[in-house]
Amino acid sequence: MRIIILTTILLFSLRGSAQNTAADNLLILELLQNQRYDEAAETLRKIYPEPISDTKILSRIGYSLRMAGKLSEAETYYLRILEQDPTEISSLFSMAGISQRKGNFVKAKEYYKQILPI
């Protein structure tokens, strides 16, 4: 599962915005592959300062924070994505997973219900 997610992140990063350089992509990929998620999130935040509206970048930061165990911070990034696109499936799944890890099964169920009609 992690390989699929890492591959997806790499593909999105290669298609990213013009300010993104190959060196930045390689650094982020290396950090993710070595499970240095906290550093990956900080690096992404430095490369892409606020305000961030690109959902791909928000997703990469959210993923890094979620994997680093910073669930509340990750949640804010996924919610920002869902504000732009309430049907974004990967963010809905991520929010459901975060809710489960926090023990909020009712909220997780709500996110899963939002996924079903999509």
- pLDDT value at residue 118: 77
Q: How many domains is the chain partitioned into structurally? A: 1
pLDDT digits (tens, 9 = 90+) for 40-96: 999 999 999 999 999 999 999 999 999 999 999 999 999 999 999 999 999 999 999
Q: Could you list the residue range(s) of the whole structural domain that residue 10 is in?
A: 2-115
Q: Which residue has the tokens 């060196």?
A: 23
Q: pLDDT band at 24, cuts 50/70/90?
A: confident
Q: What is the pLDDT of residue 89?
A: 96
pTM of the model: 0.80
With contact defined as beta carbons under 8 Å apart, do 59 and 79 qualify? no
Domain holding 77: CATH number?
1.25.40.10
pLDDT confidence bin for 25, thresholds 50/70/90: confident
d(CA 35, CA 76): 21
